Structures are given as C-alpha cells and as structure tokens.
Structure 1
Amino acid sequence: MNIIILGAGKVGSYLTSDLAEEGHDILVIDHDKDVLDRLLAANDVMGIVGDGRDPEVLIDANVGSCDLFIAITLSDDVNLIASTMAKKLGAKNIIIRLRDPQYMKQKELVEEITSATRIVNPESIAAKDIQRALKYSHALNVEGFFRDQAIMMEIVISEDSTLAGSRISDLNAYSANYHTLIGIVNNNGKIYIPHGSYVLEKGEKIYVIGEKEGVDRFYKQEVLDRYEIKNVLIIGAGSISAHLTGLLLERGFNVTLVEIDKEKAEAFSEKYSDAVVINADGSDPDVLEEVRVNTFDAMVCLTGMDEENILISLLGKKYGIEKIISKVNRIKLIKMTGILDIDTTFTPKRAASDVINRIIRSKENARGSSITSLYRLEDDEVEVIEFAAIEHSEIFGKKLKDLNIREDTLIACIKHEERDGAIEVPNGDSMISLGDRVLVITTNHSFQTIDDIVE
C-alpha cells in the first residue's frame, strides 16, 4: 500500500519501521528535520520536512493518490486539520491519533465529520490491554471484538483441568452454558481449528471465544484457581495511568497510585477521588514499605523511564507481588525482561502499531470487500476475520448445518444487528442475516467476502 505518515515521534517512528518491513511504500512528513533524518537513515522510506497543516506540503507529498493517510503527531489539532485536508485532497483512507478525552467521548461523531477510517489513542489502547491483563491474569493473551462485546482468551490446559481428555463434541452443551467455544488449539506448535472428534490434552494452548459475560464466567470457573486481582498499585501518573485508573475503578478494582510530582498527584487525586493517591517516589524501597506493597495483588509500573519501571518491577517481585506489568518503550529492553523475570512488559507504541496494522491488513486484504478487521495469530498461521454482512448472499437465512462450510473454517460469533446487537455463539441451527457482523476463524488466507466460508 501507498501510505503517508504524519509525525515521526515515538509512535510514528515505530509504525514506520513496522510497515516498511511489511513492504509498504512509506512517506513520512515531520516538521523536525533532525528527527526525520534519523528515521530515514534507519528505514527504506521517503520523507518531507514540513507542517502537515500546510496544503502545499500535502500536495507535494501527493497525498491525493495515497491509499492511507495516518496523522499520528502529539497534537490533536494538527492531526485533525491535516486529516481533513488529506481527505479533501483525495486520500482513500484516514487514521487519526487523538488524545483529548473530549474527542474520544464523541469518537463516532468525529469519525463521521472527518470521514476517518479509524480514530486511535495509543494511551487508551495500552490502558485497555493492561486492564485485560489484570482481569484475566492467568490468560496468555486476550483480544476483544465488536467493541469488546466478544472476547477471545488464550490459555494453557492445566493438568487438573476438566477440559483435559474431553472431546470437543462432548463440550458443546458444557460450553453453551458459558456461551463460548474453543476456536483454536496449539499442540506443540501444530495448529488446529478443532472439530467435534478432537480430544483436548493437558499442556495444549487453546483459544476460548464468546460473548464477554460468558468468557468471564468460563474464566472464573475453569481458570481462576489461585487468586483474583482486586488491589492494584500503579506507579506514575501519566496519561496511560489516567485511562487505566478510570477503567479499573469502573470495574470494581481498588487502586492506589504513587506519583513523585506533587502537582500531578494533586490533580490525579482530584480527578479520581475513589483512588488512593500518594505523593512520593515509587522507586524508593522505603516508600514501597510504607504503602505496604506486599498487600497488593498487582503492580503496574508506568513512569516515564524504562530503567525505573524495570527497577520497580524487580522490587515488586522481591515483595512477592503475584502480577507485575511494566511499561518499556525501548524494544531491546523488552527482550531482556525475560531474564529479569518480569511477568508482563508492554510498549504503547507497539500496541498502537498493532491496532493500525490490523486496520491496514483488513484494507489490504479486503480490496473493497466486507472485511472490517483482520487479526493474525500463531505466527500468522490463523486469521480471525470480522465480516460485515452488507451484501446479499446465498448463505443468508440458511442454517449453518445446511451449509458446506470449509474444513479449515469456524464461525465463532455472530452479532445480530436486528436483535439490538446481541452476540451469539452459533450452533447448527444458527443463521446469518443481512446486516449481521460475523467473526470467522480460518487457516485459509484468501477470504474476501462472507461467501468464502463455504466450499
């Protein structure tokens, strides 16, 4: 794809490298020549020095012929103005980074006004990822679909799990109680989209998918065997911490936050009155002792310094905290954290890049089809595709059991728009109707429309 990226900051630079490696034609616009030169020296991409709000700069970049314009500077105003002009000049798709909560509250309205394909907020994305990691602390990975109305959770079958030794067909009624199904199995690196005769084994990785409430019940009953996280200690009062604290408080977590800057701590305390906010140095062992760090179920390290986050994480380990999550912006340091024995590390720029990459993959693979989002799992062996059933099809109104669905394909969830957006984990009697959204799991990489699910 022909992609123009406005902004060569942390997120823009990481995204540029990521997309360039996938073979896209990239042009980067940034007002800082030195920053742009460093990015161009490290990647096989083109660049223009200039202000993205200047129509002449956008015209020089030939924005009218690009497949995708991504405005990802730190300034919401710059991103909005540049994106609006890029669309007027003919850019086919627009992705806008917005950080202001006021914009995010009216996300759909802003998307409509700007004709944006998607609005992204890296800090909000990171906070949601952390919240999921805390809620599903024993899961290897968790993904949300249909605006998180459906959840897919990756877990390992433990030795004492009731799932071990069970046939998929025997689990149908059992799974129906949770409104979930098992969509993918990884047995020592071999990937299966399991059918009824498949027998689950201990040690296998499985992906459980279903409506959010059902996955929650499944997790609490089948996975949550040791402890449930309720008390969370956050170090650092940045924008990710703000998003995360709001999410955690809404979901009934107890939150304590430590921030070294007095003004930040006071502002945070005023905004989040239900959280305990302490003005102190979270990297100081004496401070951690004072806040009784050993009483917390989880610690999240979100200071602005990678080294400090890693240090605090190691202190948390020493105090016996079960779950530790640490923000690390430099990718090379993330590779070291396995040696340092930190549970979970993440980088906001990578999280944002992953989301944008999914959008690009859906556009690239769809070529105008009904694919709205595309996820790749297990070293790209499996695709999880969101289809919008917007075009008339021969499969509409027919029971799934009467369709000749491909062996390498599973219909995982159906969102019925005509039933107030109800999420269904389908069975043989389920039907897809015009207007529905359908989640498909497949090892086939050639799907373009919902009709491709059948032979």
Structure 2
Amino acid sequence: MRILIIGAGKLGSLLAKRLSEKGHEIIVIDKDEKKAREVAEEADVASYARDATDPSTYDEVNIANIDVVVAATNRDEVNLFAALIARDYGVPRVIVKVRDSRIAQILSRIGIAEHVIVEPRVIGSIVEGVIEGKYNVVELVPVYVGGFRLVTITIAEGSSVEGQLLDEVKYPRSGVKILAVFDGEEFHDPGEVLRLEAGFQIIALVRDDVIEEFLEAFR
C-alpha cells in the first residue's frame, strides 16, 4: 500500500518504521525539518518538510494515488484539515488521531474518517487496566466503525489462557481484531507473542455483540 503519514512525532515515526519494514511505500510530512530528516534516516521512507495545512503539499506528494492517510500530528485542527483534504481527493482510508473528543464526534458525524483514535481515552484505559488488572471497554466515538469498541483485558494469574498461544485461545474470530499485546514494558504485534503470561494485556477492536464472549475467552 501507499501510505501517507502526516506528523513525524513519536507515533508517526514509529508507524513509518514498522510499516516500511512490512514492505509498504511510506511518505511522511512534517513541517519541522529536523523531524522530517530524522524519520528518513531511521526508516526507508520518503520524507518532506512541508506544512500540512498548505493544500499544495498534497499535490506534491500525489495524494490522489495514496491508499491510506494517517493524520498523527499533535494538533487536532491540523489532523482535521488533513482528513478533509484526503477525503476530498478520494483517499479510500483515512485514520485520524485527536485529543479532543468533540473533534472526534465531528469527524464521525460527517463521515470523513474510517477510524478516529481519541488519544487520552486509549491511554487512560490501558493504564487503568494495568492498575486494576481487569478489562476496560472504551467508546472512541459514538458510532465508531459501525459498533466496534476498543477493548483491553489483562491476563490474570490462574487464567485458563496462561501459557497458550493467541491462536489457541477460543475467542470469536468474527468481529474481533487483536491489535497488540502489552507485556508491561513493550507493545508487541500479536504474531510476535509466543506464550501468554499473567499481566499481559490484550488490546483489540471488538464488535459490540461479541464483547462478552471475547472477554470470557481470556478469563
């Protein structure tokens, strides 16, 4: 896929590196010349020191031929603008990170983004789950991806899934997308995890009607 990442901060740089390693063609935009240069040094990407609020920037990177746009700057208004531009050019998939839930609601209501990630809610849920050792369900936006929720569940000591591979756990495959596994220090791709251990946290997108079945599978 040809993926445009707007913002070369920690999230944007990490995505650029991981996605380029998987063979995707990555283009990164950041108005900070130093950040743009650093991400190009760390990953096999095309990087541009450009202002994401300048419409001509998108012509320069040929946005009409982009498959996915990820708006990941630290300014909600810039991410909103980028999403609007992407949708105007007919980009098939638009993913936006925001901090203000009101911006998330606007994006959802006008239907210009496939996924809207409300950063404080996601981080807050993960930390809460680690502290309390239980699952949390986070509603990112009211109509997030047609009734899906971001779910986090921590593997408890004595859980039936301790020592199992993720593929061995009998959770509902339809309506569930496991995004990552957090081992207390690092986030891992689900395919990288050899055996589940107590304290590991599963992070997944789960359809409303199978949330309870999903949670029960990891208890």
The two structures have a TM-score, normalised by structure 1, of 0.36
Residue 132 of structure 1: how far off its partner (Å): 1.1
Say which SS state the counterpart of residue 81 (structure 1) adopts. helix
Say which SS state the counterpart of residue 18 (structure 2) adopts. helix
Aligned-residue CA RMSD in angstroms? 3.8
Residue 18 of structure 1: how far off its partner (Å): 2.2
Alpha carbons of structure 1 residues 55 and 133: separation in structure 2 relative to 1, 3 Å: same
Say which SS state the counterpart of residue 155 (structure 2) adopts. strand
Alpha carbons of structure 1 residues 18 and 121: separation in structure 2 relative to 1, 3 Å: farther
Residue 92 of structure 1: how far off its partner (Å): 0.9
Alpha carbons of structure 1 residues 55 and 132: separation in structure 2 relative to 1, 3 Å: same
- The residue number in structure 1 matching 2:4 is 4
Residue 384 of structure 1: how far off its partner (Å): 9.5
String of CA shifts for 1:209-250, please: whole Å, max 9, x gaps. xxxxxxxxxxxxxxxxxxxxxxxxxxxxxxxxxxxxxxxxxx
Alpha carbons of structure 1 residues 13 and 129: separation in structure 2 relative to 1, 3 Å: same
Structure 2 CA distance for aligned equivalents of residues 379 and 126 of structure 1? 21
Residue 113 of structure 1: how far off its partner (Å): 1.4
Structure of greater Rg = 1
- The residue number in structure 2 matching 1:156 is 157
The two structures have a TM-score, normalised by structure 2, of 0.69
- The residue number in structure 2 matching 1:52 is 52
Which AA in structure 1 matches 2:13? S
Is 2:209 the partner of 1:415? yes
CA contact (8 A) 1:63 1:91 kept: yes
Runs of at least 5 residues in structure 1 that lack an aligned partner in the other structure: 158-162, 164-181, 195-206, 208-342, 355-374, 389-413, 417-422, 426-437, 442-455
Alpha carbons of structure 1 residues 191 and 76: separation in structure 2 relative to 1, 3 Å: closer
CA contact (8 A) 1:185 1:192 kept: no
String of CA shifts for 1:400-435, please: whole Å, max 9, x gaps. xxxxxxxxxxxxxx708xxxxxx653xxxxxxxxxx
Alpha carbons of structure 1 residues 123 and 21: separation in structure 2 relative to 1, 3 Å: farther
- The residue number in structure 1 matching 2:109 is 112
CA contact (8 A) 1:95 1:116 kept: yes
- The residue number in structure 1 matching 2:149 is 147
- The residue number in structure 1 matching 2:190 is 376
Aligned residues: 191
- The residue number in structure 2 matching 1:327 is none
Say which SS state the counterpart of residue 13 (structure 2) adopts. helix
CA contact (8 A) 1:71 1:83 kept: yes
Residue 377 of structure 1: how far off its partner (Å): 5.7
- The residue number in structure 2 matching 1:192 is 168
* Percent of pairs with identical residues: 25
**1:29-428 mapped onto 2 (5 Å cutoff):** 29-104=29-104, 107=105, 109-136=106-133, 142=135, 144=137, 146-147=148-149, 152-157=153-158, 184=161, 186=163, 192-193=168-169, 344-345=184-185, 376=190, 379=193, 415=209, 425=213
CA contact (8 A) 1:65 1:90 kept: no
Query: Post-superposition, which runs of at least 4 consecutive aligned residues in structure 1 deviate over 6 A?
Result: 380-388
